[in-house]
C-alpha cells in the first residue's frame, strides 16, 4: 500500500457507511452507493463522493465491498458498472460481507486470473461498533494480500483474526459465528416469550438473566429490542431479519456439504423463516419473538 493510500468503499449501507466514516479518520476514502442519499451522508463525514463505483475504485489501493449477497458481489465486480475492469494488477478487494464459502472462492479465482487479490474478511459487530473500530473481523487471504489489507482491517477492528491463507477461510469462520448468533437470538426470543406466557415481568426477567449463567451478548443486545418489537412501530432496525434468513441458510448449506448434522441451527433457521413469512423481513431480527406469541404484561 502506498504511503498515502486511497480506499474505495462500495456500498454505503448500514455497515458500509460507518466503516467508510471510520476509515476516513486515517485514510483517503472514496465512497459510492446506488442511493444518492447515502453518498450525501458519507460526504458529510469526510468521505469523498464518487458518481460511480468505477470512479470510486479507479487507482484505489484497496476496494472495500459491503454487499448483501453473492449476486451483488458479482454485479459490483463484473456488472455494467463493475469495478474489476478498472482495478490495476496487484490491487486488493476486501470483501466484508457474509455470502458463503463457495461463491467467495469462485470470485477469488476470477480476480486472481486478472492479477487482483481478494481478501475474504467478513465482519461482525453491527453498525455502532463499525463506527468506532470495534468489529470482529475474520480473514482468509494470501500473505501478499493480507499485508496490504491489514492496516485497513486493523483500523476497523478490535479483534482481527487471520483464519487461513485462502479466500473462503474467513467465510468458514463467519459461518460458525453465525450459527451461534442465530441460535442465540432464537433461544433468547423463546425464553422471553416463555417468560411472558408464564406471567413474569419480561423486563425483570431480562435484567435477571443478564446477571447469571444464561447471559449472552445476543440476549443482552437483542433482548431489549425484543420487548420493543411488540410496541407500535416495532424495534429500531439495527440488523434486518432477512439477513439471518440468509446467514442461517449459509450455515445449513455448509453443514450439508461437510456431512454434519446441525439440528439446533436448523430449528433456529425455521424460526427466522417464520418471521420472514409473517412479513418481518425488513424488521429488526429481534422481532422474531413476535412469531412465538404475544407479550404478556
Is 174 a residue of the active site?
yes
CB 61 within 8 A of CB 8: no
Whole-angstrom CA distances from 158 to 76, 124, 129, 262 are 28, 11, 9, 30
Angle at CA of residue 14, ends 288 and 289, nearest 5°: 5
User: What is the distance between the alpha carbons of residues 88 and 235, in angstroms, rounded to a whole number?
Assistant: 44
Q: Please pick, among 45, 110, 174, 246, the residue that the annotation labels catalytic.
A: 174
Q: Which of 117, 65, 75, 68 is nearest to 95 (CA)?
A: 65
Ramachandran angles phi, psi of 156, nearest 5°? -95, -15
Ramachandran angles phi, psi of 38, nearest 5°? -70, -35
As beta bridge partners, residue 284 has 240
User: What is the distance between the alpha carbons of residues 111 and 269, in angstroms, rounded to a whole number?
Assistant: 33
Cite the active site residues.
Answer: 174
Amino acid at each position: 500500500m502506498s504511503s498515502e493510500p486511497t480506499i474505495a468503499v462500495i456500498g454505503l449501507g448500514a455497515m458500509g457507511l460507518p466503516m467508510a466514516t471510520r476509515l476516513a479518520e486515517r485514510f483517503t476514502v472514496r465512497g459510492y452507493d446506488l442511493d444518492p442519499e447515502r453518498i450525501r451522508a458519507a460526504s458529510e463525514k469526510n468521505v469523498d463522493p464518487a458518481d460511480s463505483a468505477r470512479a470510486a475504485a479507479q487507482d484505489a489501493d484497496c476496494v472495500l465491498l459491503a454487499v448483501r449477497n453473492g449476486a451483488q458481489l458479482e454485479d459490483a465486480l463484473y456488472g455494467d458498472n463493475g469495478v474489476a475492469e478498472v482495478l490495476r494488477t496487484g490491487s486488493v478487494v476486501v470483501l466484508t460481507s457474509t455470502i458463503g464459502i463457495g461463491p467467495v472462492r469462485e470470485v477469488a479465482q476470477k480476480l486472481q486470473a486478472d492479477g487482483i487479490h481478494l481478501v475474504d474478511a467478513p465482519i461482525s459487530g453491527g453498525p455502532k461498533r463499525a463506527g468506532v473500530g470495534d468489529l470482529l473481523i475474520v480473514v482468509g487471504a494470501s500473505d501478499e494480500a493480507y499485508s496490504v489489507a491489514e492496516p485497513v482491517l486493523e483500523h476497523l477492528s478490535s479483534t482481527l483474526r487471520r483464519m487461513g491463507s485462502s479466500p473462503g477461510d474467513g467465510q468458514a469462520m463467519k459461518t460458525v459465528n453465525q450459527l451461534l448468533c442465530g441460535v442465540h437470538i432464537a433461544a433468547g426470543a423463546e425464553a422471553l416469550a416463555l417468560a411472558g406466557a408464564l406471567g413474569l415481568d419480561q423486563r425483570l426477567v431480562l435484567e435477571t438473566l443478564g446477571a447469571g449463567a444464561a447471559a449472552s451478548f445476543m440476549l443482552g443486545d437483542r433482548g431489549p429490542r425484543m420487548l420493543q418489537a411488540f410496541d407500535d412501530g416495532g424495534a429500531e432496525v439495527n440488523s434486518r431479519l432477512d439477513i439471518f434468513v440468509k446467514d442461517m441458510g449459509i450455515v445449513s448449506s455448509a453443514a450439508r456439504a461437510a456431512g454434519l448434522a446441525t439440528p439446533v441451527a436448523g430449528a433456529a433457521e425455521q424460526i427466522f423463516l417464520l418471521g420472514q413469512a409473517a412479513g418481518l423481513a425488513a424488521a429488526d431480527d429481534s422481532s422474531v419473538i413476535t412469531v412465538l406469541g404475544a407479550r404478556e404484561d
